[in-house]
Amino acid sequence: MPWYNGDYPPSYKNQPVNIREKATEIANALLEEGAEEGIAIATGLKKAREHFKKVKEENRK
């Protein structure tokens, strides 16, 4: 089930908005590629956190 317009997995509820939006974007892309919903949700959140961690580290330089 793809997520759009503020509709996102319950496990994303307490995440900051930027992470939640990026995680939803990644999870939707994974679903389109045929990933299972649970894996897409977990991977989306993990990759979104990694993305913003990398951005934060790059901004420190």
Domain boundaries, position 37: 16-57
The reply to whether 32 falls in a domain is yes
Number of separate domains in the chain: 1
Q: Which residues, 6+ apart, have CB-to-CB distance to 23 below 8 Å?
A: 8, 12, 15, 41, 44, 45, 47, 48, 49
Neighbours of 24 (CB within 10 A): 24
Query: Quick check: is 50 in a domain?
Result: yes
20 assigned to some structural domain: yes
Determine what percent of the chain is predicted with pLDDT higher than 70. 98
C-alpha to C-alpha distance for 56 and 35, rounded to whole angstroms: 29
pTM: 0.88
Gyration radius of the chain's alpha carbons: 12
Digit-coded pLDDT (tens) for 29-40: 999 999 999 999
- Would 6 be classed as within a structural domain? no
Does the residue 4 lie in any domain? no
